[in-house]
A = this chain, B = another copy of it.
Amino acid sequence: MLHEDVVGRIRAILLDGEITPGARIPERELCERLQISRTPLREALKVLAAEGLVQLLPHRGSRAAKLTDKDMRDLFEVCQGLEALAGELACERISDAEIGAIAAAHDEMVRHYREGDLIQYYRGNRAIHEAIVTAAGNPALTGLYASVTARIRRARYVTPMTPQRWALAVKEHEAILNALQRRDGAGLSHILRAHLRHKREEVLQAGFAETEASDLTLRIA
């Protein structure tokens, strides 16, 4: 009843950016806060280290994993590959109902775009990508995807979203939905790669930042 939650709670703390990348993770403090002893906490930290969210230094405690630019590029590449694979598989297996749900989510996302609501747009965007991965019907793939996106998201970088980029992203999403509806696996795979590549370029251009999100910037994933 204890250990299962602990991993999730610490993961949430890391993803929320409450402990910033590279910062030390104070065992005693977390123990008090979560009202647990060090044993389950340390077990959880080992698990998170295996996931790549935490870095364990022998006799020097654990830190929130600090990702370099190279690490981010690598993760984006893998994310791209996984999404491309998911897209192909999804086209073979997705049901009409699932396509309908994604189409609905897409329309809602486009509405948020028209309203200029970037936060809701990103939320919808993420939901669509996750739905495609889920539609692949491959739990192993879903798990790896979740792990990779978690690491990317944790990086807490910010990127300016220009009107041009935003318009391009929406356009690409139209193509994604279209390919999905035609169940064109190869096509979808191709579009997803381009889509992710564009996103990656934004991110790497922007670099990392510790600043909070302002009007036109937002951490994405």
Contact = CB atoms under 8 A, between A and B. Distances in A.
B144 A78 contact: yes
A43 interface: yes
Interface in A1-44: 1, 3-4, 39, 42-44
Contacts of A3: 46
Contact of A139 (B1, B74, B143): B74
Interface in A62-112: 71, 74-75, 77-78, 80-82, 84-85, 89
- Kindly state the interface size class of chain A when it binds its partner: 20 to 34
Interface in A155-200: none
A153 to B, nearest CB: 14
Given A51-B50, A81-B85, A84-B81, A75 B140 contact: yes
Interface of A: 1, 3-4, 39, 42-44, 46-47, 49-52, 58, 71, 74-75, 77-78, 80-82, 84-85, 89, 138-141, 143-144, 148, 151
